[in-house]
Amino acid sequence: MRSARGPAGVGFTILFGYFFIAVAFGAGGRAAGLPVSATAGFSVFVFAGASQFMAVSLLAQGAGAVAVTLATLVLNLRHIVMSLALRDRIRGARVPRAVLAFGITDEVFAATASRPGEIRDTDLLVTELLAYAGWVGGTVVGYLIGGILPPSLERAMGIALYAMFVALIVPALRSSPAYLAPMLAAGILNWGLQSLGVPVGIALLISIPVTAALFAIDPRWSRA
């Protein structure tokens, strides 16, 4: 994911991608009968796409607060690895780490960590704020237009989150084709674990670091 674009360029890229996905989330919140305040509240206070979609679907099935919170915890534990990976590369003392921590999403991490070299704290903040603006703005717009979207478009939006993952990983694979093996291996391990009945969050928590550790034994898989 090497790119000549600066933090604002990266941020706007995520902003547009997030906006679209958040429209799907907002429309889904309306369809599940949530008030606009709660739907927006998820995006404002949680800011974690996959777990928000999961929460709305669990709520629609009548799950309780404890079940939804625990499922979210397990799904979002993966961010530990991402924060850890960023920790030693962030430079500067202008932005409190506690503020930067809130904005470390999958996409912000993938776009930031894959760029070579140090990461200025102000650059990371710019990227995070743009991503956040896209996510919160898209949620509200999605709720407001949720009633008037054509059904086929609303269903098709389910792919948006994954299209963005593809858009993030393809440039990295192009510059380092060796990444294809660890990427596919992580997916296959995750699939296998889930087939064995391991909950999604735990399967992600195992497959992501285990595969990374295995492929780190030989430097050829992570050559930039």
Partner 1 sequence: MEPGVTRLVLIIAGMAIVTYVPRLVPLVIRTRRELSARQMRVLRLVPVTAIGALIIPGGLTAVDGRLDLSLIGIAAAVILALALRHPFLVVVGSVGAVALSLALGL
Task: Looking at residues 61 to 90 of the shown chain, list those that interact with partner 1 (rule: CB under 8 A).
Answer: 64-66, 68-70, 72-73, 76-88, 90
> Does residue 183 touch partner 1 according to CB under 8 A?
yes
d(CA 50, CA 22): 11
Give CA–CA dist 181/104, Å, rounded: 25
Longest dimension (CA), the chain: 53
Q: Positive or negative CA dihedral for 16, 22, 26, 28? A: positive
Least distance (Å) from partner 1 to the CB of residue 36? Answer: 12
Q: How far is 29 from 152, CA to CA, in rounded Å? A: 17
Decide if residue 159 touches partner 1 (CB under 8 A): yes
Q: Toward partner 1, which CB reaches closer, 147 or 219?
A: 219
Under the binding rule (CB under 8 A), the answer on residue 145 touching partner 1 is no
> Cα dist. 120→6, 84, 104, 175, 212 in Å?
11, 16, 14, 24, 25
Contact flags string 6-45 toward partner 1, x per CB under 8 A: -------x--xx--xx------------xx--x--xx--x
> Binder to partner 1 among 2, 57, 91, 162 (CB under 8 A)?
162
Number of residues that bind partner 1 (CB under 8 A): 102
